[in-house]
Amino acid sequence: MDTEVILQVKDLQTYFNTDDGIVKAVDGISYQLHRGETLGLVGESGCGKSVSCLSVMKLIPSPPGRIVGGQALLDGQDIFRQSPAEVRRIRGGRISMIFQDPMTCLNPFLRISTQMVETIRLHQGLGAAQAKDKAVDMLRLVGIPNPAKRVDAYPHQFSGGMRQRVMIAMALSCNPEILIADEPTTALDVTIQAQILEIIKKLSRELGTAVILITHDLGVVAGMCDNICVMYAGRIVEKAPVNVLYREPKHPYTQGLIKSVPRLDRPGKQRLHSIEGQPPNLIELPDVCAFHPRCEFAMDVCRRKYPPETALDGRMVRCWLYEENK
Amino acid sequence: MSANNVLLEVKNLKMHFPIEEGVLFKRKVGDIRAVDGISFDIRQGETMGLVGESGCGKSTTARCIAQLYKPTAGEVLFQGEDLCCATGRQLLQGRMNLQMIFQDPYASLNPRMTAGAIISEPLVIYTKRGLMSMSRKDIEKRVEELMEKVGLSRYFINRYPHEFSGGQRQRIGVARALALNPKLILADEPVSALDVSIQAQILNLLKDLQEEFNLTYLFIAHDLAVIEHISTRVAVMYLGVIVEVSDSRTLYKNPLHPYTRALLSAVPIPDPEVESKRQRIILEGDVPSPDKVRTGCYFYDRCPNAMPDKCRDNIPPLRQIENDHHTACFLYFNP
């Protein structure tokens, strides 16, 4: 892709102080997001997918969390160096976010209209009446029936799928350049999931919004994304265009992950491949490959040093299997 | 269908929960029809998959079978005996062969009990009630044996649930369910709360145990791919009724009911090339609330193939279309 880079995350490190020691939730991840691109962040619970995106929005609760190092360049400007007032303008205006559970993100005491108008007025400087018209338009765009009436409803009057639509409408109401979707369909049923994914896909294309899609579901990513970053224990272990990654996963973790999902289009009763063992505890993790205790190809060097980034035609992998100078 | 190898038979099972209004003088204003008249059977040695969206009554069905809820109407015949009429000792005896595994491995284990105490609890209870006789030594030995069987080290016997990961906790739940050597295990979304790599471990474990102990499963999940992988037969539920039952291969190859078709086409497949070529049937709207008495097809409001003259005023019964393939839809027969 030759289009312009809109967000560049460089060597981001986010640590949490706990009673048991420092948890390195995100430990040096870098990626680029181009205009109009959909980037998938995949990994299991606790691998740092959400924390990495919350860091970019500067939404890490501090203490206990802190962004220890790295940069997040939005159009060349480092978000971490900006004043709180400037960051507030970015949040919701240029980068907006939707979450897994829409009920905890909407204020149950306020009408949908109040919540949407607040955002729109703040970021776009419209008058109250205009802002409300805009809110109704956005609700229509995400497919809420009878939006002029429903805009004055309270969150509990919507179903789960409808609430997620409201969240999408709210997030896109200020024409953000980047939409971060953190497990947007995990709490929803498959038929509703299909509706929501379709909306995100269609609107991001129409409005030219770049999307970062965080999910643990490899199926969702396959249909939605251009590029994928696979994360494990706070680092990106593999980064590749979506077609290449599924056809030929390089990192043993990615290979295991893809093989361990039962597939509808390949029926059969054969044993599932499973990755033995558990994901590591992130407290005081030594600087070696975090996957080596579960890896079938583990070598001596894996237990000594963390593998560097290895570039393999258009993709990146962090594994000693592909590194020449060990 | 030969009747002799049927282990469990559910006949016209209904579970209605009352909706009440008023604070001091409660009065009933309606019913949530969570399960609204379902019939199916489970045969010895098979895995019956029960699939459907949230709120369709899958878990309620399992709980009714185990008599954790007293069903409003219908029969649950386990080895020929109706559990709904069974009381006290009879029920206890029935449940010995019928155990459950729950979805949430965090909520289904008592945080104040050690792994050993959790797994041995069924043995201790049945011994106390005089339905079994095991000495403390026997029980301890049995617990250690069970832990090894489910892939937990016996040294974890004195640990508490919070010291285990999600996957290991689910293994404790499986060991507890196995303790009494049951014939039928009702597994209510046993892998939904787990990460994919752990999910594969538990699915493999359940399959191994089935072979080793000749178990029969009722396996509930909302993930169609998981159901396809583990089940020999599948029942699809929608809004409290079963809309399609078939052996799993036929169901996935040739789904008949429009709801099954939509459900199958909505599942994302982890392969971008397949994904880009797929045609999706996207259903409009949400699942309606189950508080109404229905006079027509339960799927009528959302069905892409709805026929107003037939489907609006007649409830389609579950009927056999091909060999062992049943569906409740007027596309295949007339009212």
Chain A residues 161-220 with a CB less than 8 Å from chain B: 161-162, 189-195, 197-198, 216-220
Return the sign of the alpha-carbon dihedral for residues B269, A47, B152, A275: positive
From A268's Cα to the closest Cα of chain B, the distance in A is 7
A191, B262 Cβ separation under 8 angstroms: yes
Can you tell me the distance from the alpha carbon of B308 to that of B27, in angstroms, rounded to the nearest whole number?
36
Contacts of A142 in chain B (CB under 8 A): none
Does the ipTM exceed 0.85?
no
Question: Quick check: B166 pLDDT over 90?
Answer: no
For B257-273, write each residue's pLDDT tens digit. Answer: 999 999 998 888 888 88
Average pLDDT for B118-127: 94
Instruction: Locate all alpha helices (DSSP H) within A36-94, ordered by sequence.
Output: 49-56, 84-90
Average pLDDT for A96-117: 88
SS3 B118: helix
For A60-69, write each residue's pLDDT tens digit. Answer: 888 888 888 8
Question: What mean pLDDT, rounded, does chain A reach?
Answer: 87
Question: In the numeric block, which tokens belong to residue B35?
Answer: 């399960």
> Averaging pLDDT over each range in A184-198, A302-316, B61-75, which range is the top one?
B61-75
Average pLDDT for A20-36: 89
Average pLDDT for B159-186: 92
Question: Which helix (DSSP H) or strand (DSSP E) does residue B29 occupy?
Answer: strand B27-43
Residue A169 is given by DSSP the state H
Question: Quick check: B2 pLDDT over 50?
Answer: no
CB contact under 8 A, B228 and A267: yes
For B183-235, write each residue's pLDDT tens digit. Answer: 999 999 998 888 888 889 999 999 999 999 999 999 999 888 899 999 999 99
Can you tell me the distance from the alpha carbon of A121 to that of A130, in angstroms, rounded to the nearest whole number?
9
For A231-274, write each residue's pLDDT tens digit. Answer: 998 899 999 999 899 888 999 999 998 888 888 877 666 788 88
For A46-101, write each residue's pLDDT tens digit. Answer: 888 888 988 998 888 888 888 888 889 988 889 989 898 999 888 888 999 988 87
Can you tell me the distance from the alpha carbon of B229 to that of B252, in angstroms, rounded to the nearest whole number?
11
Residue among B251, B253, B189 nearest B217 (CA): B189
Say which of B165, B270, B280 has its CB closest to residue A222: B270
Q: Where are the beta strands (DSSP E) in A45-140?
A: 65-74, 77-78, 95-98
Question: In the numeric block, which tokens belong to residue A187?
Answer: 């709490």
- CB atoms under 10 Å from CB of A148, counted, come to 12
* N-terminal to C-terminal alpha carbon distance within chain B: 24
Question: Quick check: A1 pLDDT over 60?
Answer: no
Say which of B197, B222, B225 has its CB closest to residue A263: B225
State the pairing for strand pair B325-327/B319-322: antiparallel
Predicted pLDDT of residue B1: 44
Chain A residues 217-276 with a CB less than 8 Å from chain B: 217-223, 242-243, 246-247, 256-258, 260-265, 267, 269, 271-276
Q: How confident is the model at residue B43 (pLDDT cuts 50, 70, 90)?
A: very high
Q: What are the strands of the beta sheet with A38-42, ordered from one edge? A: A95-98, A178-182, A210-215, A38-42, A227-232, A235-241, A315-317, A310-312
CB contact under 8 A, A191 and B282: yes
To 5 degrees, how large is the angle CA A101–CA A93–CA A130?
95
